[in-house]
Amino acid sequence: MCSIFGMFDLQPGDDLAGLRRQALELSQRQRHRGPDWSGVFVDAGVILVHERLAIVDPASGSQPLRSRDETLALAVNGEIYNHRELRAASDYDFTTGSDCEVINALYRQYGAEGFIEQGVSRLNGIFAFALWDSETQRYLIARDPLGVCPLYWGHDAEGRLCVASEMKALSGVCADVDTFPPGHIFDSATGELRRYYHKPWRDYAVTRGNDLAPAALREAFEQAVHRQLMTDVPYGVLLSGGLDSSLVAACAARFARERIEDDDRSEAWWPRLHSFAIGLEGSPDLAAAQIAADALGTVHHGFVYTFWEGLDALPEVIRHIETYDVTTIRASTPMFLLARRIKAMGVKMVLSGEGSDEIFGGYLYFHKAPSPEAFHEETVRKLDALHSFDCLRANKAMMAWGVEARVPFLDLEFLDVAMGLDAKHKMAGQGRIEKAVLREAFQGALPDSILWRQKEQFSDGVGYGWIDGLKAHAEQAVSDREFAAAATRFPHNPPATKEAYLYRRIFEQHFPGAACAATVPGGKSIACSSPAALAWDPAFAAAADPSGRAVRGVHQQALA
């Protein structure tokens, strides 16, 4: 991954040299995402800046990517996992080995309209891109279906459209800064923002009655991990010792010895799989991660951080992740500290387990789902919101130190398989643990203590003293008088706890203005659950604390 910055709709009288300098300065705010190289493209109507983190084809894949005739310019943050298949089927004259260049190829193959309707949907990957066609003076901006890669946009004081991978590049420049929606593409020729990602499985009726053999589910996920191991640089896996990260590690360990980029015909450049975990001294995750690592044979690195190290990092964490959501900040802080350790070891890419809980209903409140249809609808809603929470956390907390996080559970091919399964097979409760269908598919792949470990939120698993300490600190840092006036100071999404107030206050220092605040979804919730899910049990609505421990009774009651 990398970062992109674009400035569009430049006018003939504009000072291109001055705007180029401004674009570089703004892009520099997100250079932590791409410390390896910077590239700039300037044309009469556009400026594109790219900060590169070289993962695939580090020798020749610098951006913006130009077509051979120099009419196309493309800036991309992301990875295209099926690029070799797309490249093999194309007669485009490629100029690099970059996986992202297939976007230019598809645009040439389909034309602008066909690319919007069909071409972009052929990409299996995580991406945010801006493509400029100088022949037609037309540009396209798009974001991957689930929003794994962040993207923001807004207009400067002169009405120029600006886009950036992180909000910090637009803050203070665009008064109307907003999140670019996942699964959409913007076409400058029509001025329309169009959804390109449409899936029939969003409707439960389409999935009703669909069965899937455990072996088929396992094979689909193993292939997702295999696709995402494409890399020309050292990589590893995040291993918390929970089910999801352990399954990712187990699959990666199976394929680690062969080089994915040449169809497993040669030995991998880095054949030993390294795994990484972090927690407070004595944390549940550190202990479980070591068990999983020993079973899988990874070179494991378990790091211990102190409460004060985490607390000291909070302002920087909030600046990087660009949110004031309580759960996200709690979990992002240890991840941010872990990313720094990983970067120091020379690793540039890691696989992570985000997305499994949304697909398979892994949060404890899913035990209360009244029907398969309600269960399925909530998983769809969770996937739609993922870009504001877990994807945001994994991407920005790791990329703060130039480490790319990939998420195999959100591989688009695997998603079609898993979400096409009738939710009756995913239901928990009445003695059935959450994500049982996934656990059963991987029977024997992990020690039972890991395979059947109960759901533990990452911010809980790193050590319960982390959340308890944050609450205690917020009680001291935020006065009763301040908190009483919270709704006056923060009329949009007023904080419901002193901890939330503390985070909101730090966020405002870095990102002042109503537009920035509005990019963060609000509402009192259990793990960001919907009003419909809150209705599953009236007790949910009374809980302001989103910690997994706050709903632990759900698990106990469901198994009783």
CATH code of the domain containing 118 = 3.60.20.10
- Would you state the pLDDT for residue 552? 53
- Say if residue 314 is in the same domain as residue 355: yes
Chain mean pLDDT for the chain: 92
- Say if residue 167 is in the same domain as residue 250: no
- Say if residue 185 is in the same domain as residue 292: no
Residue 460 in this model has a pLDDT that exceeds 90: no
- Would you state the pLDDT for residue 525? 45
162 is catalytic: no
- Say if residue 255 is in the same domain as residue 355: yes
Distance CA(131)–CA(129), nearest Å, equals 7
| Residue 383: inside a domain | yes
Contact yes or no for 156/183 (Cβ under 8 A): no
Closest listed residue to residue 132, CA positions, set 103, 93, 173 = 103
Residue 527 in this model has a pLDDT that exceeds 60: no
- pTM score over 0.85: yes
Read off the pLDDT band of 558 (50, 70, 90).
very low
- Would you state the pLDDT for residue 555? 46
Q: State which of 181, 198, 215 marks the end of a domain.
A: 198
Cβ contacts of residue 354 below 8 Å, gap of 6+? Answer: 244, 386, 390, 391, 393, 394, 405, 407, 409, 410
- CA distances (Å), 200 to each of 195, 205, 413, in order? 14, 9, 14
Q: State which of 160, 183, 198 marks the end of a domain.
A: 198
CATH code of the domain containing 375 = 3.40.50.620
- Say if residue 342 is in the same domain as residue 389: yes
Residue 224 in this model has a pLDDT that exceeds 70: yes
- Say if residue 449 is in the same domain as residue 538: yes
Which residues on adjacent β-strands are paired with residue 185?
142, 194
- Say if residue 91 is in the same domain as residue 22: yes
Average pLDDT for residues 81-110, to the nearest whole number? 96
Domain count, the chain: 2
| Residue 485: inside a domain | no
The tens digit of pLDDT for each residue in 4-39 reads: 999 999 999 999 999 999 999 999 999 999 999 999
- Say if residue 189 is in the same domain as residue 235: no
| Residue 480: inside a domain | no
Read off the pLDDT band of 526 (50, 70, 90).
very low
Which residues on adjacent β-strands are paired with residue 80?
125
The tens digit of pLDDT for each residue in 316-368 reads: 999 999 999 999 999 999 999 999 999 999 999 999 999 999 999 999 899 99
- Say if residue 153 is in the same domain as residue 52: yes
| Residue 432: inside a domain | yes
Domain residues for 26?
A: 3-198
Q: Which of 2, 149, 251, 391 is catalytic?
A: 2
